[in-house]
Amino acid sequence: MAQITLKGNPIETSGELPAVGSKPPQFTLTKTDLSDSTSADYAGKRIVYNIFPSIDTPVCAASVRKFNSEASSLDNTVVLCISADLPFAHTRFCEVDGLKDVVPLSSFRSSQFGMDFGVEITSGPLVGLLSRAVIITDADGVVLYAEQVPEIAQEPDYAAAIAALQ
């Protein structure tokens, strides 16, 4: 398990992120139209997994906006914005902000995602939500970059994440 903080207070996650050089677990998540989305849907693409607790918080919203602006210029790359929020919250947020270059996905029907990726928060007031993390895979599905953000209220290292794709 990883230990992170929420406003300086220690909390824990269900495990560790997939290691650089490994392949992340397969997944099934829910799209905004309530259909399933699986890892197979993105085969052959480079993937940015932007994982966060809730789209309705300022830092999470900032990460979705930032990766949306960066994604438009990246070849053969898809940005998956993943949280336990209901798909309706993802839809509302993306429509209001005009975000079209990210794929919002919900883990609300798949608690296995958080456990498999080591990002389910297991202690503290956010138990059951996902921690803030960024994982990047190449077109072969191999992890190039993995960042478990140590403080929930902190933004990820965007420059390092994008550099992994160049």
Please state, in angstroms and as integers, the Cα–Cα distance from residue 152 to each residue in 13, 109, 112, 119, 122, following that order.
Answer: 12, 23, 21, 12, 14
Report the range of poorest mean pLDDT among 28-32, 95-99, 134-138. 95-99
DSSP state of 120: B
Name the 3-class secondary structure at 98: coil
Q: How confident is the model at residue 72 (pLDDT cuts 50, 70, 90)?
A: low
CATH numbers and ranges of domains, the chain: 3-163 (3.40.30.10)
pLDDT for position 69 = 81
pLDDT of residue 102: 79
| Section 19-43 average pLDDT | 96
What average pLDDT does this structure show over 54-81? 81
- Is residue 60 among the annotated active site residues? yes
Global pTM?
Answer: 0.92
Q: Given this model, what pLDDT does residue 94 score?
A: 66
* Beta bridge pairs of residue 81: 50, 104
Q: Distance between CA atoms of 27 and 40, rounded to whole angstroms? A: 9
Query: Which among 2, 17, 60, 162 is annotated as catalytic?
Result: 60
What is the per-residue pLDDT across 96-134, written as a single tens digit (0 to 9) for each? 766 677 789 999 998 899 999 999 999 999 999 999 999
